[in-house]
A and B are shown apart, each in its own frame.
Chain A
Amino acid sequence: MRARMTIVTMLVLAASFLFLPTANAYVDPGSGSFVFQALIAGLLAAGMAIKVFWRRIVGAFSRKPSAPLDEG
């Protein structure tokens, strides 16, 4: 389910890249990285929310404490 959601979001995102404005040669490509992070922000936040939610579900059915995030 989670994988399917990721794929669908990625496809929508990829489709949005088909229609793009022209490049500006004197703009630092680093600016593009800021723009890109803004574009994927929703996906990243959703991914994080799903992860936390999933941990809670797993935690509720498991006697062991859930692993810390950095081990994911």
Chain B
Amino acid sequence: MRLASSFRDPHGFVFERDGIIYRQVNEAHEAHFAAFLSSGLYERLVQEGLLVRHEEVTLDLAAEPGAIHVLRPERIQFVSYPYEWGFLQLRDAATLTLRVQELALDHGMSLRDASAFNVAFRGSRPVFIDTTSFEILPEGRPWVAYRQFCEHFLAPLALMAYRDVRMGQLTRVWLDGIPLDLAAGLLPSRASVRPGLAMHLRMHARTQRTRASDRSSRDRTFSPQAFRGLIESLLKAVEGLTEPAGYSVWRDYYGEADHYTDAAAREKERVVASWLEELQPTCVWDLGANTGRFARLASSSADTVAFDLDPFCVDEAYRRARADGDERLLPLVMDLANPSPGVGWMNEERSGVWARGSADLVLALALIHHLAIGRNVPLPAFAETLSRSGRHAIVEWVPKDDPKVTVLLRDRADVFGGYSREGFEAAMAPHFHVGGVEPLPGSDRLLYRLRRR
């Protein structure tokens, strides 16, 4: 009943009952939670859209003894993790955490943890979800969550900005944050030109190693002004990090358009839009979404998750969603051939992708050749993944003589005898009924509309 992601905190935890998520607040947290409500902090955070709203329900629903409140928080459509976010999403989550901390200080409170897992994305908007993270400000003490903030946010952001955007994947290995000595060692020396990074990463890492047992400094009073200065300095360090530069083949995929005529691209949009209209899904997954061109057709009326393996594409999709006010699109980084697994304690603390849900409709457009030929995934395995992802599917069949497939096969032996339209239909048959097939003009590609058996 208690969620595997919520076992470490004695102050409260999240649990599921009859498919509904609740948060239990325990006696140990009573004074802090009372101050959180009475100070007006909760109302203010919710008003500003920074914190997930909750409603209080009866204590009879408590999952374990010791409850003083049971809350029913607003549901997050699809729970995502920091290693699935692009640079811009992680930076926005960091800024959100600091903004929440600033408001907490205004109300005489403070965050006692600053984990990136305390932030979720409601579509394209980050929101703080851990209602029991707030404590009465312990006066004169430094920020207890300072190290965690640096390890969960500043270190991966700096590595992505200064070393390589793919460094974001380190957060999947170090769930408790990237160790500061590791981050300091990996950062190029030019990163130290920025005072914020030199201080909060390099010098911070060095002190951790060498002065951990220094009681005299530890017991010094930390003034409110220093506390404000710390948050301000972290905010500056985070906001000063700009998007990593780099070449991305995929980001410009549709721009190149050598494999599509304009007519084919328009027809593809028309068919996908009309099938979306007929199916009226409430939740859509777009696998291999690129910068979200087709996911955006869905997100106008459905909660849509746009998965792509290229973090540049995910950043681009996120930037557009924010700019257009598209609040129902959640772009995420994911390699379908190596999707997020169950990790953490007992491999259950953070779930794999399919353990977190599935969609009414899954889109797999211009994807099949990348998996079947580029990554050697057999067509029946692709079909099974698709059927686990959604009740309905729209799949673009890309034949072997398509120019893009020819490029994939250019420097390798063709061991893909089964890669044919017949092979595709045979692979789909055990899982799906075919509800329609539409050709794309100017190519031999076909759009299939499928319904799970």
Q: Does the CB pair A29–B225 fall under 8 Å?
A: no
**Given contacts A34-B142, A72-B236, A48 and B212 within 8 Å (CB-CB):** no
Q: Which residues of A in the span 34-51 have a Cβ within 8 Å of any Cβ on B?
A: 34-49, 51
Q: Does the CB pair B146–A48 fall under 8 Å?
A: no
Q: Which residue of B lies closest to A32 (CB)?
A: B208
Q: Which chain A residues border B212 with CB–CB below 8 Å?
A: 23-24, 27-29, 31-32, 35
Query: Residues of B with Cβ closer than 8 Å to A?
Result: 99, 102, 142-143, 146-147, 150, 180, 195, 198-199, 203-204, 206-214, 217-220, 222-223, 225-230, 232-233, 235-236
Q: Which of B203, B214, B218, B236 contacts A13 (CB 8 A)?
A: B203
CA distance A70 to B208 in the complex (A): 29
Q: Which of B147, B198, B223 contacts A33 (CB 8 A)?
A: B147
Shortest distance from the beta carbon of B285 to any chain A beta carbon, whole Å: 36
Q: Which chain A residues border B143 with CB–CB below 8 Å?
A: 37
Grouping DSSP codes into helix (H, G, I), strand (E, B) and loop, the B interface class, with mixed when no group exceeds half, is helix
By Cβ-Cβ distance, the 6 closest A-B pairs, closest first, are A44-B229, A32-B208, A37-B142, A33-B147, A48-B229, A27-B212
CA distance A37 to B218 in the complex (A): 8
Q: Does the CB pair B203–A20 fall under 8 Å?
A: no
Q: Which residue of B lies closest to A49 (CB)?
A: B225
Query: Residues of A with Cβ closer than 8 Å to B?
Result: 6-7, 10, 13-14, 17, 20-24, 27-49, 51, 69-70, 72
Q: Does the CB pair B208–A33 fall under 8 Å?
A: yes
CA distance A14 to B195 in the complex (A): 12
Shortest distance from the beta carbon of A54 to any chain B beta carbon, whole Å: 13
Q: Does the CB pair B142–A48 fall under 8 Å?
A: no
Shortest distance from the beta carbon of A26 to any chain B beta carbon, whole Å: 9
**Given contacts A34-B142, A38-B217, A45-B225, A29 and B232 within 8 Å (CB-CB):** no
Residue of B210, B228, B229 with highest tally of chain A CB at under 10 A: B229
Grouping DSSP codes into helix (H, G, I), strand (E, B) and loop, the A interface class, with mixed when no group exceeds half, is helix
CA distance A46 to B146 in the complex (A): 19
7 A-B pairs whose Cβ atoms sit less than 8 Å apart in the complex: A21-B211, A24-B212, A28-B212, A29-B147, A32-B204, A44-B230, A45-B225
CA distance A7 to B192 in the complex (A): 12
Q: Does the CB pair B225–A35 fall under 8 Å?
A: no
CA distance A37 to B199 in the complex (A): 10
Q: Which chain A residues border B198 with CB–CB below 8 Å?
A: 10
Shortest distance from the beta carbon of A40 to any chain B beta carbon, whole Å: 7
Q: Does the CB pair B211–A32 fall under 8 Å?
A: yes
Q: Does the CB pair A72–B232 fall under 8 Å?
A: yes
Shortest distance from the beta carbon of B194 to any chain A beta carbon, whole Å: 11
Q: Does the CB pair B213–A31 fall under 8 Å?
A: yes
Q: Does the CB pair A10–B195 fall under 8 Å?
A: yes
Q: Does the CB pair A6–B195 fall under 8 Å?
A: yes
CA distance A34 to B217 in the complex (A): 8
CA distance A38 to B222 in the complex (A): 6
CA distance A6 to B218 in the complex (A): 23
Shortest distance from the beta carbon of B175 to any chain A beta carbon, whole Å: 16
CA distance A33 to B150 in the complex (A): 10
Shortest distance from the beta carbon of B45 to any chain A beta carbon, whole Å: 14
Q: Does the CB pair A39–B209 fall under 8 Å?
A: no
**Given contacts A35-B214, A38-B217, A40-B199, A51 and B232 within 8 Å (CB-CB):** yes
**Given contacts A29-B147, A34-B142, A47-B229, A17 and B203 within 8 Å (CB-CB):** yes
Known: A45-B229, A48-B229. 4 other contacts (CB 8 A): A21-B213, A32-B207, A33-B204, A44-B232
Shortest distance from the beta carbon of B447 to any chain A beta carbon, whole Å: 47
